[in-house]
Copies of this chain bind each other. A is one copy, B any other.
Amino acid sequence: MTPTPAEDTAALEKVTQTTQARHTIPTPVLVRGTGLLGTSIGLGLRAAGLEVLLSDPSPSALAVAQDIGAGTILDSESAAATGRQPGTVVVAAPPDVAGEEIIRALEMYPSAVVLDIASVKGAIAEQVHRAVIDQRITASQASRYVGTHPMAGRERSGPVAARGALFTAAPWVICAEDSTRPDSVAAAEDLARLLGATVFTMTAAEHDDSVALISHLPQIAASLLASRLQDTSTLALSLAGNGLRDTTRIAASDPQLWVQILTANAPQIAPILHGMREDLDRLITTLENPTADGSRLDVAQLISEGNRGQARIPGKHGAPPQAFSVVTVLVDDTPGQIVAVLTDVAEAGINVEDLRLDHSAGYEVGMLEVSVVPGRKEKLVEELTNRGWKVV
């Protein structure tokens, strides 16, 4: 049973409702920095009905952002003339310059909530503290600042790739301090929720420790691995499967951005890399003498430790790891095949929890991997088999 247009509309409205909640965000919102994230924030806030102003050192990036509807270019002279000031400033500048941008915004707009969205939080908070100690700004001014980090959109860049729903269902970390004004915290949280994100509250130190492990370390591992492929023969690469593709996907990330992230969070990352190097050293020693006593145990231990770490990663919706059963269906690579399978799944009244089309080189067929809650697997296999699908 294909859903009727009315059902589709209802579903879309349900999605949209999460972005229509009441909020405490002072407007207009000035987005300083119209890269991927800043422009996406502008688009999302505009879609929710807020007035958005834009600024960026690059006139062309700024023009693109305005053209695609992310907001109106801030005209400093007319703003001064009319006395109309931003109620909230979102500093969406690269990590390197975010600190100075925050300090300038706190000075320039004496009552605005100021938040940033950079991927490192301790180093930037430290810059703001130092500005207070150096008496460039007052403690009262600094109390309007909230550090935040929306965890989305790392692999593409620029305003053209922006989309208002970029943050939907993504974690958005809020790092308030004891001295931060409650109304600033509330505005930051509302902004994240208005854009469809899930708010996580933690200290800057907790944030930096967390992302060092779950974001920066995977980037480093993927880059170290992919780097080894630079001179690989085409023959070897023709054997590549999803294992290699998955482990190296994020190695395509932007070097300039990652230089800033990795150097700013270096104190948190370096100790983890030491642990990784110890494991790697042990493995190299073992593989250089693979028939020595205990060498097989050493290798088994490394793989087992990887098993244990991997099993701790939560699944979709924060569900327990590996909570879903996978049913694999053979599909021909023509329009309509995937639809036909999923139509049959929907007719059986079974919800698809996750979906993946698995391909390799050479053949025009694929494996459609349909994840369902474990209790539904048997029924799904039966229903699909009865309808003539090749469940493998």
Q: Which of B210, B307, B330, B362 contacts A15 (CB 8 A)?
A: B330
B310 pairs with A226, CB closer than 8 A: yes
A340 pairs with B2, CB closer than 8 A: yes
Task: Please give the distance in Å from A165's CB to the nearest CB on chain B.
Answer: 4
Q: Which of B168, B272, B332, B338 contacts A14 (CB 8 A)?
A: B332
A243 contact set on B, CB distance < 8 A: 154, 215, 218-219, 249-250
B interface footprint on A180-224 (CB within 8 Å = 1, 0 otherwise): 000000000000000010101010001001110111011111111
Asked if A84 lies at the interface with its beta carbon under 8 angstroms from chain B, I say no
B266 pairs with A312, CB closer than 8 A: no
Stretch at the interface among A21-29, A55-63, A134-142, A353-361: A353-361
B310 pairs with A360, CB closer than 8 A: no
Number of A residues near B (Cβ < 8 Å) is 153
Tallying the copies of this chain within the complex gives 2
Interface of A is mostly: helix
The answer for the CA separation of A215 and B246 in the assembled complex, in Å, is: 12
A247 contact set on B, CB distance < 8 A: 218, 221-222, 246-247, 249-250
Q: Which of B11, B307, B328, B390 contacts A252 (CB 8 A)?
A: B307
A258 pairs with B213, CB closer than 8 A: no
Q: Which of B151, B224, B312 contacts A306 (CB 8 A)?
A: B224
The answer for the CA separation of A13 and B299 in the assembled complex, in Å, is: 45
Q: Beyond A218-B243, A264-B290, A273-B287, list 16 extra A-B contacts (CB 8 Å).
A: A11-B337, A12-B388, A214-B244, A222-B310, A224-B280, A227-B279, A237-B312, A240-B314, A244-B313, A263-B287, A263-B295, A263-B299, A270-B287, A335-B350, A335-B351, A339-B339
Q: Which of A339-392 contact B (CB under 8 A)?
A: 339-340, 342-343, 345-346, 349-352, 354-357, 359-368, 388-390, 392
Asked if A50 lies at the interface with its beta carbon under 8 angstroms from chain B, I say no
A336 contact set on B, CB distance < 8 A: 1-3, 7, 346
B interface footprint on A287-318 (CB within 8 Å = 1, 0 otherwise): 11011000110011011111111111110111
Identify 15 residue pairs between A and B in the complex whose beta-carbon atoms are under 8 Å apart, listed by A's number. Answer: A11-B332, A169-B362, A171-B362, A214-B237, A215-B241, A218-B225, A221-B222, A228-B275, A243-B249, A252-B311, A266-B288, A273-B284, A277-B280, A355-B356, A355-B368
